[in-house]
Structure 1
Amino acid sequence: MPMNAALQGIADGGQATHAHTGAWVAGVLRQRISAGQLAPGTKLSEQALSEALGVSRNTLREAFTVLAGESVVQRIPNRGVFVAAPGADDVREIYRVRRMIEPAAVLWGEVRAEDLEALDSIIDRARAALAAGSVQGMADANQELHEALVALSGSASLQELMERVLAEMRLVFHAMATTPDFHSHYVERNAALVAQLREGRREEAAAELRRYLDGAERELLVHIGAIP
């Protein structure tokens, strides 16, 4: 999505009623990156963003510092701030975190009827995207599902961590935009995970999720040339 369109989306989202802080701005930008609205390599214009968000450039720079610490943006001297393009080390770190928190949420989180309904709805959207050949739709549904799995933990801190991880994951997914099979063969694996949760087979679901994450990490590393 072009920078101007993404900024319009930020403006359309409404400005916060509380004081605009660097953390709030970082959250807004992180959400836009996680939603795929700011692609790797996009230059983040201080002037355009400060006007769209109604914040000072100092506040915006605070947000950039937060996001740079999360490897979501990159500061390049004399050029500016850009949405990052994760490399092999970033991919490995993303999956270290995911292997720790996602299976744990599946194994020990609270699974209510409404949670299962929400997961089923995500699977329906993923299948519809698969049928339509929509890589973007499959990627969106995949992000939503893994966010929902971590939400089973009931922990706001883990959900905040997952939001940061998913923002980085979205940047990784851009590298797979021309490889639809990367997303398509996870649609039914996600459906199988939800079925295991519905049947109360928590340990099987958690073990399968770890294998799933191991496989996804390897696929990504092969695709970017980090391993043969």
Structure 2
Amino acid sequence: MDRIAPQSGTNDPFARLIADRPLIGRASTAQRVADVLRDRIAEGALPPGTRLSEEALGTALGVSRNTLREAFRLLAHGRLVVHEMNRGVFVRELTVADVTDIYTVRIALETAGVRAAPGAPRERLAAVAQAVTGGESAARTGDWGAVGTCDLRFHRALGALAGSPRLDEYLGRLMAELRLGFLAMPSPRRFHEPFLRRNRLLLHLLESGETERAEAELVRYLTDAQQMIVDTLSPRKADA
């Protein structure tokens, strides 16, 4: 069967796309800028509450205000920044409601991964083990920021056991937002250290095929982590 060729002239849908060509370069630049800012937010270089000045960032990164505004839109879509009328764009500060919602979704996604662990390919469980070992190594050198990064990798690897690209993509976006909660904790060591042992326990249960015990432990684990962050944010809200 012959393919129907696009019509010429103004009715040609492909021809009309020529007008969109400038948007491609602009969008790709904005995406790269958003990626840079996302990384700096995750590292704590731009902590929650930081005002993202268009002038300062435009000078530092060598990009236009329009590109920055598109990058901000991408970051706002990922719930990492917020625009305040007549004040500007700020790195988001999570609320108690934010944390509660994040952990509700985390429990659903990560337990789905744990339940799928018995049938998961060996390399996916190896990724869980690698994240546990990485966190323990970082703790021995006192690099608690790296411990937090390994912890996020550990939980993404748990979700990845489900073998769902959509679940993995959504969990990845959620982890970037969760990093804002980690940055709110006054002592990264006090927050992360107790969970190193629990990460190792979860790995042991998965490797032993004790899936039900692993799922129950994960729910307790995430509930405890949520409460620690909520307890930190609640006094701040009362002070405000």
Does the TM-score normalized on the shorter chain lie above 0.5? yes
The one-letter amino acid of 1:165's match is L
Change (3 A) 1:45 1:156: farther
Rounded to whole Å, the distance in 2 between the matches of 1:219 and 1:195 is: 24
Change (3 A) 1:207 1:27: farther
2:65 is aligned to 57
Unaligned runs of 5+ in 1: 1-15
| Matches for 1:138-217 after TM superposition, within 5 Å | 138-178=147-187, 180-217=189-226
Change (3 A) 1:63 1:19: closer
The counterpart of 2:120, out of the listed 111, 114, 117, is 111
How many residues are paired up?
213
Please provide the CA RMSD for this pair: 3.0
Rounded to whole Å, the distance in 2 between the matches of 1:51 and 1:187 is: 41
1:74 is aligned to 82
C-alpha distance after superposition, 1:103-139 (max 9, x if no partner): 1111125532222332222212211222233321221
Rounded to whole Å, the distance in 1 between the matches of 2:36 and 2:159 is: 20
Residues 159-168 or 186-195, more deviating:
159-168
Residues 32-41 or 163-172, more deviating:
32-41
C-alpha distance after superposition, 1:133-178 (max 9, x if no partner): 3321221111111111122222222222112211121111112142
Higher relative contact order (CA 8 A, sep 6+): 1
Change (3 A) 1:167 1:196: same
- Report the Cα offset of residue 26 of structure 1: 4.3
Change (3 A) 1:22 1:97: farther
Point out the structure with max Rg over C-alpha: 2
Q: Normalising to structure 2: TM-score of the pair?
A: 0.75
Percent identity reads 42
**Cα pair 2:48 2:91 within 8 Å, conserved:** yes
**Cα pair 1:33 1:39 within 8 Å, conserved:** yes
Rounded to whole Å, the distance in 1 between the matches of 2:80 and 2:159 is: 20
Rounded to whole Å, the distance in 2 between the matches of 1:19 and 1:65 is: 11
Rounded to whole Å, the distance in 1 between the matches of 2:154 and 2:72 is: 28
1:125 aligns with 2:138: no
